[in-house]
């Protein structure tokens, strides 16, 4: 019996759907909470050509909601894409997984997308800026994509095609799940629900049924569900899907300091920071060839080989800026 027998018996999907999913190039942005669930399901379903992009390492605080990873990965500071590769090869050896261990920015997103030439893109990010970048690149290259977000107990899913409405059109109506998980944290069930709805939209699309054209909002604590027909939300003056104006893609300059999820900031340090990290104030508590954990006062830093640094325990932009300059001075 085929390993996919139980899913191909479902007629609306069937052998055709199986053929499509196994031959399509599927690109997943992010291998965190949503991304790892999405990749897990797609690999099991026989999505044989998967690409994943992520820049983080596995941390213990990820394990409550991020499938595919375990304590061993967190202990060894394994990069998420490396961990994904290992797990997926054990789940389904037919899957060819291409992994990019990079930060997605306006400077590299077009190169990555052109290189892979995906049939569909799935958002597994928790970063709104990158989502709007994905929105622009998908419209520019006419690639369908599925937006998904989970924060607190709430989640939103929406499959977006070239005609729109695109994410920019919906900006006014994006529920609070579209914001950051800074204040609200996130409950594991909403992550798997959102990831599953995203995969469901992918399955619909690849088996020729098209996206549902609904924006779905779910609450995994109040157990509420809403589906909104999105056609009325099309902005006829949308800069992206009406006027082909890709402002984010054209802005190649990245900020050196950026607020991330929670009390976390991303510092973009010069590349030599990794080699000179013993000059930083505080102590290096763990080090591998691609990441170092540093503790300084009440802060914790994860420093990556390319100079990126996650700074934890930072409560305001001013604090972040002061800290960044202290660190930079120490490696001059
Ligand atoms: Zn639009």
Do residues 84 and 28 lie in contact, with contact meaning Cβ atoms separated by under 8 Å? no
- 286 and 241 share a domain? no
- 129 and 51 share a domain? yes
Confidence at 97, pLDDT banded by 50, 70, 90 = very high
Selected residue with higher pLDDT from 176 and 148: 148
- 13 and 160 share a domain? yes
Please give the distance, rounded to the nearest whole angstrom, from the Cα atom of residue 12 to the centre of ligand 1: 30
Write out pLDDT tens, residues 295-319.
999 999 999 988 999 999 999 999 9
The answer to whether the peptide bond before residue 165 is cis (omega within 30 degrees of 0) is yes
Please give the distance, rounded to the nearest whole angstrom, from the Cα atom of residue 143 to the centre of ligand 1: 14
Please give the distance, rounded to the nearest whole angstrom, from the Cα atom of residue 249 to the centre of ligand 1: 15
Could you give the number of structural domains in the chain?
Answer: 2
Largest CA-CA distance found in the chain, in angstroms, rounded:
64
Write out pLDDT tens, residues 155-173.
999 999 988 899 999 876 5
Please give the distance, rounded to the nearest whole angstrom, from the Cα atom of residue 32 to the centre of ligand 1: 27
**Tokens standing for residue 22:** 């196994």
Please give the distance, rounded to the nearest whole angstrom, from the Cα atom of residue 308 to the centre of ligand 1: 32
**Tokens standing for residue 126:** 């928790």
**Tokens standing for residue 248:** 């984010």
Q: What is the pLDDT of residue 174?
A: 55
- 217 and 282 share a domain? no
- 167 and 313 share a domain? no
Q: What is the pLDDT of residue 178?
A: 46
Please give the distance, rounded to the nearest whole angstrom, from the Cα atom of residue 169 to the centre of ligand 1: 4
**Tokens standing for residue 58:** 């596995």
Please give the distance, rounded to the nearest whole angstrom, from the Cα atom of residue 124 to the centre of ligand 1: 20
53 by Cβ neighbours in 10 Å (0-12 / 13-18 / 19+) ranks as: buried
- 175 and 302 share a domain? no
Please give the distance, rounded to the nearest whole angstrom, from the Cα atom of residue 229 to the centre of ligand 1: 15
Please give the distance, rounded to the nearest whole angstrom, from the Cα atom of residue 146 to the centre of ligand 1: 14
Which CA distances in Å does 265 have to 97, 112, 163?
A: 30, 25, 35
- 265 and 239 share a domain? no
> In whole angstroms, what is the distance from residue 197 CA to residue 34 CA?
11
**Tokens standing for residue 233:** 């939300």
Write out pLDDT tens, residues 176-190.
544 555 566 899 999
CATH number at residue 313: 3.30.310
Cα torsion 14, 20, 23, 24: sign: negative
Instruction: Give the H or E element holding residue 3.
Output: none
Q: What is the pLDDT of residue 181?
A: 56
145 by Cβ neighbours in 10 Å (0-12 / 13-18 / 19+) ranks as: buried
Closest CA to 39 of 105, 90, 75: 90
- 156 and 285 share a domain? no
Q: Is the confidence at residue 210, as pLDDT, over 90? A: yes
Portion of the chain with pLDDT greater than 90, in percent: 81
Q: Give the pTM.
A: 0.89
Write out pLDDT tens, residues 43-72.
999 999 999 999 999 999 889 999 999 999
Please give the distance, rounded to the nearest whole angstrom, from the Cα atom of residue 7 to the centre of ligand 1: 34
CATH number at residue 21: 3.40.50.720
Confidence at 126, pLDDT banded by 50, 70, 90 = confident
Selected residue with higher pLDDT from 261 and 271: 271
> In whole angstroms, what is the distance from residue 152 CA to residue 231 CA?
27
Domain region containing 121: 2-248
- What would the mean pLDDT of 205-209 be, rounded to a whole number? 94
Last residue of a domain, one of 187, 219, 248: 248
Please give the distance, rounded to the nearest whole angstrom, from the Cα atom of residue 264 to the centre of ligand 1: 30
Which CA distances in Å does 210 have to 159, 200, 205?
A: 9, 11, 4
CB-based contacts of 86, cutoff 8 Å, min separation 6: none
Ranges of H-type helices in the chain? 5-8, 14-23, 33-45, 71-75, 80-91, 109-116, 128-140, 188-206, 247-250, 317-330
Selected residue with higher pLDDT from 87 and 264: 87
Q: What is the pLDDT of residue 180?
A: 56
Please give the distance, rounded to the nearest whole angstrom, from the Cα atom of residue 161 to the centre of ligand 1: 10
- 171 and 204 share a domain? yes
Q: What is the pLDDT of residue 175?
A: 53
- 80 and 20 share a domain? yes
First to last CA, the chain: 64
Closest CA to 152 of 183, 197, 193: 183
- 260 and 197 share a domain? no
> In whole angstroms, what is the distance from residue 230 CA to residue 196 CA?
20
- 61 and 201 share a domain? yes
Last residue of a domain, one of 248, 263, 290: 248
Please give the distance, rounded to the nearest whole angstrom, from the Cα atom of residue 171 to the centre of ligand 1: 9
Last residue of a domain, one of 248, 263, 294: 248
């Amino acid at each position: 019996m085929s390993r996919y027998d139980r899913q191909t018996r479902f007629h609306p999907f069937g052998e055709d759907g199986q053929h499509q999913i196994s031959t399509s190039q599927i690109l997943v942005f992010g291998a965190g909470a949503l991304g790892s669930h999405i990749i897990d399901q797609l690999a099991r379903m026989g999505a044989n050509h998967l690409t994943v992009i992520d820049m983080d390492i596995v941390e213990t605080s990820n394990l409550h909601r991020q499938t595919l990873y375990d304590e061993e990965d967190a202990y060894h500071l394994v990069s998420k894409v490396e961990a994904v590769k290992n797990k997926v090869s054990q789940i389904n050896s037919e899957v060819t997984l291409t992994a990019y261990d990079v930060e997605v920015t306006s400077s590299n997103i077009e190169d990555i997308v052109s290189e892979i030439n995906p049939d569909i893109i799935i958002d597994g990010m928790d970063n709104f800026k990158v989502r709007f970048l994905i929105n622009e690149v998908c419209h520019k290259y006419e690639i369908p994509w599925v937006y998904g977000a989970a924060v607190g107990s709430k989640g939103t899913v929406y499959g977006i095609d070239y005609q729109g409405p695109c994410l920019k059109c919906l900006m006014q109506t994006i529920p609070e799940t579209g914001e950051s998980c800074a204040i609200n944290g996130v409950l594991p069930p909403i992550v798997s629900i959102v990831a599953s709805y995203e995969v469901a939209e992918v399955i619909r699309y690849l088996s020729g049924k098209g996206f549902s054209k609904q924006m779905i909002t779910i609450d995994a604590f109040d157990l509420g569900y809403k589906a909104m027909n999105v056609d009325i939300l099309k902005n006829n003056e949308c800069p992206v899907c009406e006027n082909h104006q890709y402002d984010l893609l054209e802005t190649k300059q990245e900020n050196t300091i950026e607020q991330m999820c929670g009390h976390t900031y991303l510092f973009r340090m010069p590349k030599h920071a990794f080699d000179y990290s013993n000059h930083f104030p505080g102590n290096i508590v763990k080090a591998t060839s691609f990441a170092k954990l540093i503790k300084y006062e009440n802060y914790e830093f994860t420093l990556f080989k390319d100079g990126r640094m996650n700074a934890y325990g930072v409560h305001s932009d001013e604090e972040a800026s002061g800290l960044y300059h202290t660190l930079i001075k120490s490696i001059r």
